[in-house]
Amino acid sequence: MAAATAAARSIRDTCRAARRAARTLATLDTAVKDAALRAIADALIERTPEILAANELDMAAGRDADIGDALLDRLRLDLARIAGIAAAVGNVAALPDPVGEVIEGRRLPNGLDVRKIRVPLGVIAVVYEARPNVTVDAAALCLKAGNAIVLRGSSIAAHSNAVLAAIAADAAVAAGLPQGSVNLVAGGGRDELAELATQNDSVDLIIPRGGEGLKEALKAVATVPVIYAASGNCHLYVDATADLDAAEKIVLNAKTQRPGVCNAAETLLVHADVAPAFIPRVVRALGDAGVQVRGDERTLALAGCGGEPRAPADGAPRGGVGGAGAEERGAEEGAGAGEGSAPAVVPATEDDWATEYLALTLAVRVVHGVERAIEHIGRYGSGHSEAIMTRDTAAARAFQLGVDAACVYVNASTRFTDGGEFGMGAEIGNSTQKLHARGPIGLRELCTFKYLVEGDGHVRL
């Protein structure tokens, strides 16, 4: 009990220190903030050996704990990744400062001048799992937007987070930012998370970046406002008119370029008219890339893993169905598979359509048209990123209007959903909510606004 009280006291004191720093940060010129960010970027490069040594401690512990390849990939830092983190900080410094930006302004009929301007939120707490790069990305974005930050990483990345946060804090203060601008609290357990999530007097917003377990844990206790940087069950839909060469490249990129991230594709939907031509080749290509395919009955048949597909269960004339009831079959040579054996394809279950694998696994389903694809995405998607491959303008437009997600792509990979790719410099996460922040959470999403009203002795009559 005493230890828990001490931890709670530490979190409370840390958040209050951040609140004091936030009052000063909100008043700083852009030049001061940018100089601090450049100092952080330089310090990251200078102290790279220290960062790598700390990260190796976390990697060794992760391997011993058998946390899995996806988490290890998120946890891993190397020379290139550290250079990328530093470059992202420099990119944030080069971005326009959102603080003070006039969103709109007008003179009222009574002569009052009203301006709506962006201002910092104040203190932002970021709770995240095994991604040490978030420590720096989040700090850079919050500082540029005039906010103090309280970081709470996971125990998996404890050593990496500690050294990265210390480097950022030291460099920021040396460059003129107030003490308490960058703070790290220990990972701790659920009690400590609850303590952080209830600091209403000092924390203005919490952004969790992690799995559904973290999301549910915060939902149960948070009294501070929360924007969830949630999971991504992302889909690719290959329409009847798609360029199949381009579609194959997009599928491989979206699934294999970095499978352990939230904007990687988890389900492939293929129009029934093009499925006989596309599924055998894409299954073969996915197999060559080490991807396990979990297919519905039509996919199994077209990949050479079963007989003729049965009539669809959902009532669609040619729509796809889940393969939950199908027997698991060994891979066989399929139609158009060429020499050798086709890659293994196993029957999909109902759970597969709703699963974020974060691994080299892809669910594949045949559907009858864009409306069926939209219907499937609406049922199983997480609202993150969805893509259509088509040369039909009407189908593309229907997909754009019908899919309810933060990012909707036409003839492009879902892997582009990223603050850096969107020109934001970096991001804290990707919001799947519909509040003021949706999609990549960048500088403007870390601001609120206020109205400045100027008069000349005006009184209301």
Q: What is the pLDDT of residue 434?
A: 85
Query: If pLDDT is split at 50, 70 and 90, which confidence band does 420 have?
Result: confident
pLDDT at 188 > cutoff 80? no
Q: Does the structure show a pLDDT above 70 at 283?
A: yes
Q: Domains in the chain, ordered, with CATH?
A: 2-229+428-454 (3.40.605.10), 234-416 (3.40.309.10)
Q: Name 116's Cβ contacts closer than 8 Å, sequence gap at least 6.
A: 102, 103, 104, 105, 449, 450, 451, 452
- Cα dist. 328→213, 235, 348 in Å? 31, 24, 9
pLDDT at 100 over 80: yes
Instruction: Tell me the C-alpha distance between 381 and 361, whole Å.
Output: 16
Q: Counting beta carbons within 10 angstroms of the beta carbon of residue 201, is it exposed (0 to 12), middle (13 to 18) or buried (19 or more)? A: exposed
- Closest by alpha carbon to 82, among 62, 63, 57, 54? 54
- The average confidence (pLDDT) of the chain is 88
pTM for the model: 0.80
**pLDDT tens readout for residues 315-342:** 333 333 233 222 222 322 233 333 344 4
Q: From CA 410, how far away is CA 246, in angstroms rounded? A: 12
Measured CA to CA, the distance from residue 425 to residue 88 in angstroms comes to 6
pLDDT at 334: 32
